[in-house]
Amino acid sequence: MPLAMIEVECHISIKKYGVAFINPLKTQLLNEIKKNGSLSSAAKSMEISYQHVWTMIDEMNRIAPSPLVMKQRGGANGGGTAISGYGERVLREYLIIQSEIKKVVAQINVEINL
């Protein structure tokens, strides 16, 4: 029987005050909001409740020095949601961190299976 390969995985969660400020799920949410401009569409796409989406946004916005997500209430043209400039910056920096960590994890996976 051949030996099974050992593989290390890493999921990045950046915390502030012990709360996940940004993590893979929140990153996915921010990207869905960018794509759809709507909380309900983002929730449907991610197959999570609208309430859970609101909770995550509220949590991120409360912890951040500046809001990541800007919400508009409905009106004649309907409501909408957009990622703020700060939210865009957080997403970019998270992706940079994720890229660097993936390189380290890939090297660990090579070395662990030698």
CATH of the domain at 21: 1.10.10.10
Assigned domain for 103 exists? yes
How many Å apart are CA 43 and CA 112, to the nearest integer? 39
Q: Answer whether residue 102 is part of any domain.
A: yes
Least confident of 21-25, 73-77, 107-111: 73-77
Q: Please determine, for residue 78, whether its predicted confidence score (pLDDT) is greater than 60.
A: yes
Q: Express as a percent the part of the chain with pLDDT over 70.
A: 91
Host domain of residue 75: 14-112
Residue 8 in any domain: the answer is no
Reference 6, options 112, 92, 114; nearest CA is 112
Higher pLDDT, 21 or 3: 21
User: How many structural domains comprise the chain?
Assistant: 1
Which segments of 1-114 does DSSP mark as H helices, in order? 24-36, 39-46, 50-63, 85-112
Residue 113: what pLDDT? 87
**pLDDT tens digits, residue range 31-75?**
999 999 989 999 999 999 999 999 999 999 999 999 999 987 765
Residue whose entry in the numeric block shows the structure tokens 């709360």:
19
Give Cα separations from 4 to 1, 7, 21 (angstroms): 9, 9, 36
Identify the pLDDT of residue 77.
60
Of the chain, the percentage scoring pLDDT greater than 90 comes to: 76
What predicted TM-score, i.e. pTM, was given to this entire model?
0.83
- 82-90: list long-range contacts, CB under 8 Å, 24+ apart: 82/33, 82/34, 82/37, 83/30, 83/33, 83/34, 87/30, 90/22, 90/30, 90/64
Answer whether residue 96 is part of any domain. yes
Does residue 5 lie in a domain region? Answer: no
